[in-house]
Amino acid sequence: MAKYGMVIDLKRCIGCCACEIACKMENATGPGISWTKVLREERGIFPYVRFFSLPILCNHCAEAFCEKACPSGATYRTDEGLVLIDADKCLGCRVCITACPYNVRYWMKEKVSYFYPAPLTPYEEMGYAEHETGVVEKCDFCKRRLKEGLEPACVDICPAEARYFGDLDDPQSTVSQFVKQRNVFQLLPEMGTDPHVYYLAP
Nearer to another protein, 93 or 120 (CB): 93
Does position 28 bind another protein by CB under 8 A?
no
The CA–CA distances, whole Å, from 99 to 30, 63, 76, 105, 192 equal 22, 12, 14, 10, 13
Does position 74 bind another protein by CB under 8 A?
yes
Does position 62 bind another protein by CB under 8 A?
no
Beta bridge partners of 164: 7
Tell me the C-alpha distance between 45 and 66, whole Å: 38
Question: Pick from 63, 130, 189, 194: which binds another protein (CB under 8 A)?
Answer: 189
Does position 199 bind another protein by CB under 8 A?
yes
Question: Pick from 2, 21, 28, 54: which binds another protein (CB under 8 A)?
Answer: 54
Does position 70 bind another protein by CB under 8 A?
yes
Residue of 100, 169, 96, 88 whose CA lies nearest to 133: 88
Residue of 151, 202, 145 whose CA lies nearest to 14: 202
Site pattern 97..136 for another protein (x: CB under 8 A):
xxxxxxx---xxx-----------------------xxxx
Extract long-range pairs of 142-146: CB within 8 Å, 24+ residues apart. 142/26, 142/27, 143/82, 143/84, 145/26, 146/4
Write out the residues near another protein by the rule CB under 8 A: 10, 39, 41, 43, 52, 54, 56, 65, 67-74, 89-95, 97-103, 107-109, 133-136, 183, 185, 187-189, 191, 199, 201-202
